[in-house]
Amino acid sequence: MSIKARIEAKLADALAPEQLDVIDESHLHAGHAGHRPGGETHFRVNIVSTTFAGQSRLERHRTVNRILAEELAGGVHALAVHPSAPGEEARPAGRPS
């Protein structure tokens, strides 16, 4: 299973998201620290889940970090996350310059 598929599966299981986009942006970071051939190093996650309602920004990110602890400790170099609750403006996570 690819890392992308694993991230999707873990988040889908844990948070029952209404919307989930996991985007492999590794190609944007060719030559940058942490990049390796074959990609799967830099991801962006846009996720909408009722779990996030009533949680602070920090709590939302900690929730995602906990679910993806294994991936973050292993091969994933960078993870941009935009967690929102249903009904909030869905603004995509930004990318590093």
Partner 1 sequence: MSAMNEWIDSQVKSNDVVLFMKGTPDFPQCGFSGQVVQILDYLNVPYSGVNVLADPELRDGIKEYSSWPTIPQLYVKGEFIGGCDIIREMFQAGELQGMLAEKGVAAAA
Residues of the shown chain interacting with partner 1 in the complex, contacts defined by CB under 8 A: 29, 32-33, 57-58, 61-62, 65, 69, 72-73, 78-82, 91, 93-97
Alpha helices in the chain (DSSP H): 3-15, 57-67, 69-73
Least distance CB 15 / partner 1 (angstroms)? 17
Instruction: Give, to the nearest 10 degrees, the angle between helix 3-15 and helix 57-67.
Output: 120
Least distance CB 78 / partner 1 (angstroms)? 7
Least distance CB 93 / partner 1 (angstroms)? 6
